[in-house]
Amino acid sequence: MENAEAKSPEPERGRSKLVVELKELDEIYQRFKLVFILSNVLTMLLAAYVISQMLFPEKLTDPWMKKLQTVGLCTIMGGAILLCGVQWLCLRQTTMTSRRKIEQMTFVDALTNVYNYRYLDRRIEEEIRIARRFGTMLSLVYMDMDSFKRVNDECGHKAGNFVLSELGAILRVSARTTDLVGRMGGDEFLLLLPNTNRDEAQIVSERIRARIEAHVFDCDGRKVDYIRASMGVATYPYDTQDKENLITAADRAMYRAKQAGGNRVCI
């Protein structure tokens, strides 16, 4: 078995930039919005001027004709404004849809439908800053599946992917609304528990561990009832005060759970 230091996760060095960052998308949206407004305003003014010159080339003296001219121009302007509003709504809807798709592709693990490590790496830093600012606690739970290799060996990798997908669903249902669940890779998961002390983190972890232990995975007719979870808990600021050491502390606690026989939570 590998030691804790050998398997502890390290942030990727020189990680490639995202194809489209959400921040850049917002900046593009703001620039396009300004151009959109100015171009439509100019278009409306130009259209109103041209149409008025075409319909009424000579100065009108009749009051009814002047009123008709005013009504006509107001109708034209109103239609242009309505068109501008429709275009604006379409632009906003398209941008929001694109943002959701980009966020889904960038931050969510496709197999388990939980957050990937890229997203958790950012959020852990943010939550530590919040905890430091307000004097609150933050707990991290590192989880590794027991006997998962047996699934791949006996049932195949397709069954293994199915089990991982089901585990993602179990974690999403079991976690609290304020918790963040992510996949580190393989059969390793990470739970970020904001404003949570050691005792509370252990309660949450034990509930998740028990739910996994009781779950029977149906892999194309083959019942898999031996999947268990070894979990390690680390808490800011008691165990450490920075992100890397917090993850390492949780990882080491998870290995203590493994060495003690698995299917348990260690702090």
User: In a 10 Å sphere around its CB, with 0-12 CB exposed, 13-18 middle and 19+ buried, how is residue 17 labelled?
Assistant: exposed
Nearest to 229 by CA among 182, 260, 265: 265
Nearest to 157 by CA among 220, 77, 65: 220
234 in Cβ contact with 240 (< 8 Å): yes
How far CA 185 is from CA of 127, 145, 189, in Å, comes to: 22, 12, 7
190 in Cβ contact with 184 (< 8 Å): yes
- Mode of pairing for the β-strands spanning 188-194 and 180-185: antiparallel
Choice among 109, 121, 187, 239 that is catalytic: 187
Q: Global pTM?
A: 0.66
Annotation says 187 is catalytic: yes
CA 211, CA 73: separation in Å to the nearest integer? 69
Q: How many other β-carbons are positioned within 10 Å of the β-carbon of residue 132?
A: 13
The one-digit pLDDT tens for each residue of the chain (267 residues) are 333 333 333 333 333 344 445 566 666 666 667 667 766 776 777 676 666 666 665 655 666 666 666 676 677 667 667 767 777 777 777 777 766 666 666 788 889 999 998 888 889 999 999 999 999 999 999 999 999 999 988 889 899 999 999 999 999 999 999 999 999 989 999 999 999 999 999 999 999 999 999 999 998 888 999 999 999 999 999 988 889 999 999 999 999 999 999 999 999
**Omega within 30 of 0 (cis) for the link into 237:** yes
